[in-house]
Amino acid sequence: MAAGLGKRAIKAEIRELKVKREAALAAGQSDDLKKYRRLIHRRKRRLRRLMQFS
């Protein structure tokens, strides 16, 4: 992933990850579920940081 992504790109990534998280939850794959939850968390933190400094 390239540095300096805009707000819209980060939000789109979060939406993609949420779909993957839901699929992992439905399939009962706890390892994948944890992985996607952490990735969503990191993207949201990046988004908040971006909004704070802009």
What's the Cα-to-Cα distance from 9 to each of 24, 44, 45, 53, rounded to whole Å? Answer: 23, 12, 14, 17
Tokens at residue 53, please? 């400094």
Tokens at residue 39, please? 């990735």
The reported pTM is: 0.86
pLDDT tens per residue, range 7-53: 999 999 999 999 999 999 999 999 999 999 999 999 999 999 999 98
| Structural domain spans, the chain | 7-53
Residue with tokens 């819209």: 8
Which residues, at least 6 apart from 5, have a Cβ–Cβ distance to it below 8 Å?
13, 46
